[in-house]
Copies of this chain bind each other. A is one copy, B any other.
C-alpha cells in the first residue's frame, strides 16, 4: 500500500520534515532501505547508519532529527510510530468469514456471521465466537469457551472447556489454554491427581506466543489481564495472575498461584516458584531464579557470568566452599 509522506505523518500523528508528496510503500531497515521505503531509528547504536541511509524517509526522535540526511518523521516514540507504519504499509491479508466445511462445529455453538472458523477445527458445545474473530486451521475449542471480537487464533491452538477470552486476543500456533494444572496430592506411596476445576480468564489485547501454555485454575481461575504480551514456550501454571501490560519473554516458567504485577517485564528463561507476589513495575533479567516475593519496583537478577570452561570449572567448585571462606575470613580478621 502506498501513501504520501503527508498522509503517513497524519496517520501516525508525527511531525514531517521534508517533501510531503513523496510516496512510500514499505518499511525497511536503515541498511536495506531504498527509494519508497520508510526506515526508523529507535536504538542509538544504529545512529551511524543514518548518514548513509537511502530510505525516502526515516522515523526518528527529535534528538536524532538533525542527523537525518533525508525526510524525517519526528516523534518522541519512534518505535511505536514504526510499528504503526508497518500496519499501515503492510496491512494483513483480509479477514475471512464463515465456517470451512471440514470444521466440526457443535450445533449449540454461537459463531458470529463475520467470524471465520478454519479447516479441520473442532468447536464444542456452547462456544461463543465474536465478530471478526479468526479461528485458523486445526484449532480445538472446548465446551463453553467464549472468544471475544477480532481475536486471532493463528493455527493449531487449543482452548479447553470454559476459558474466557477478551477482544483482540492473539494466540499463536501450538498454544494450549486451560490444560490441567499440576495438582498432585502425595499419598505417601504415590500421587493422587487433584482435579482442576477452575478456568482461565484472558483480558483484551493479550498476545500469547507459539507453544506457550496457560493452565486452568485448580479452584478459582488463572488470570491474564488486559494488554499482557507473552512470547513463545512460556509456562503459566494454575491460579497464576499476571497484571495488565506485563510482558513475558520466551521460555519463562511461572509456578502455581504466583501473582505478577502490572507493567512488569520478565526476560527470557526466568523462573518463578509458586505462591509469590511480585509488585508492579518489576523487571527481571534473563534466566533469573525468583524464590521470594518482590515488593519494590526495580530491576532484579540472578545467575553467574559466562567464562571459559577451564576457568569456570575452577571457580564453580569454589562456590561449594563459599560459606566456609566467609567464616574463615571473619575469624581471621578478628
Interface positions of A (Cβ within 8 A of B)? 27-29, 32, 42, 77, 79-80, 82-84, 86-87, 90, 92-93, 100, 102, 104, 118-120, 122, 136-138, 140, 142-143, 154-156, 158, 160, 170, 172-174, 176, 179-180, 182-195, 197, 205, 207, 209-211, 213, 215, 219-220, 227, 229, 231-233, 235, 237, 244-245, 247, 249-251, 253, 255, 267-269, 271, 273, 283-292, 294, 298-323, 325-326, 328-329, 332-333
Contacts and interface: CB of A to CB of B under 8 A. Distances in A.
B182 A172 contact: no
Identical copies of this chain, number: 3
Contact of A104 (B32, B119, B251, B304): B119
B253 A233 contact: yes
A27 B320 contact: no
Contacts of A213: 174, 209-211, 232-233
Most chain B CB within 10 A, of A142, A172, A183, A235, is at A235
A323 B329 contact: no
B86 A194 contact: yes
Given A173-B179, A253-B250, A315 B319 contact: yes
A330 B26 CA distance: 59
Contacts of A232: 176, 179, 182, 213, 215, 235, 237
